[in-house]
Amino acid sequence: MAEVPGWEGRFFEDFSVGDVYVHRLGRTVLPVDNSWFTLLTQNTAPIHFDAHYAAGTEFGRPLVDSTFTLALVTGQSVSDVSQNVLANLGWDEVRLPAPVFEGDTIYSESEVTAVRASRSRPGVGIVTVRTTGSNQDGVVVITFSRTIMVYRRGHGPAGNRPRPVAPPPGPAR
């Protein structure tokens, strides 16, 4: 049986300014996502986890923790942008033009805005993307720039995934 390699992600050489990657997987935000993330990060703002409190606000329902939205949209971009990342260098210009509510489905895309060789590490390059997240109605709910240090092809860790080992021949147990 021949092994067919799967998607390994982009390396530094694969990025060009102006490329746009539409991240294929959407994600519906569940009430449990919002309450767990909010409480795990010790965010005590009741608008995220107290439905009675949130009902008395202008929104009338809980808002999704904005740092969850940032984490979700960043995560949606990984397979296209940072599968071969050495390090995240920063998020800049994070904007939240519209709220996210429990039950919203978030989709995202990223545009490459800058590509340059690393001055200090020859095996990597620096890539900046502008990522936009939108809800199921096409309303933009988050935008940000993210700068990453990504491996050049052949310079990252390779072959670290263990392969299944066939059981030794012999009687079945």
Instruction: Give, for all 173 residues of the chain, the pLDDT tens digit.
Output: 787 777 788 999 999 999 999 999 999 999 899 889 988 999 989 999 899 999 999 999 999 999 999 999 999 999 999 999 999 999 999 999 999 999 999 999 999 999 999 999 999 999 999 999 999 999 999 999 999 999 998 888 865 555 666 666 766 55
- For residue 158, being part of any structural domain is answered with no
pTM: 0.85
| pLDDT confidence of residue 7 | 78
- For residue 163, being part of any structural domain is answered with no
Say if residues 105 and 136 touch (Cβ distance below 8 Å).
Answer: yes
Q: Give residue 50's domain range.
A: 12-151
Q: Would you call 28 exposed, middle or buried from its count of C-beta atoms within 10 A (0-12, 13-18, 19+)?
A: exposed
Q: Which CATH number do you get for residue 27?
A: 3.10.129.10
Say if residues 127 and 114 touch (Cβ distance below 8 Å).
Answer: yes
| pLDDT confidence of residue 163 | 60
- For residue 167, being part of any structural domain is answered with no
Among candidates 15, 11, 3, 13, which has minimal Cα distance to 111? 15
State the angle between helix axes of 66-77 and 31-40 in degrees (0 to 180), rounded to the nearest 10: 110
Distance, CA of 28 to CA of 106 (rounded, Å): 6
- For residue 83, being part of any structural domain is answered with yes
How many domains would you assign to the chain? 1
- For residue 18, being part of any structural domain is answered with yes
- For residue 25, being part of any structural domain is answered with yes
- For residue 138, being part of any structural domain is answered with yes
| pLDDT confidence of residue 34 | 87
Exposure string of 34-54, with b = 16+ CB inside 10 Å and e = fewer, is: bbebbeeeebeeebbbeeeeb
Q: Which residues are CB-contacts of 166 (< 8 A; sequence separation ≥ 6)?
A: none
| pLDDT confidence of residue 142 | 98
One-letter amino acid for residue 143 of the chain = T
Question: Residues, the chain, total?
Answer: 173
Distance, CA of 59 to CA of 46 (rounded, Å): 13
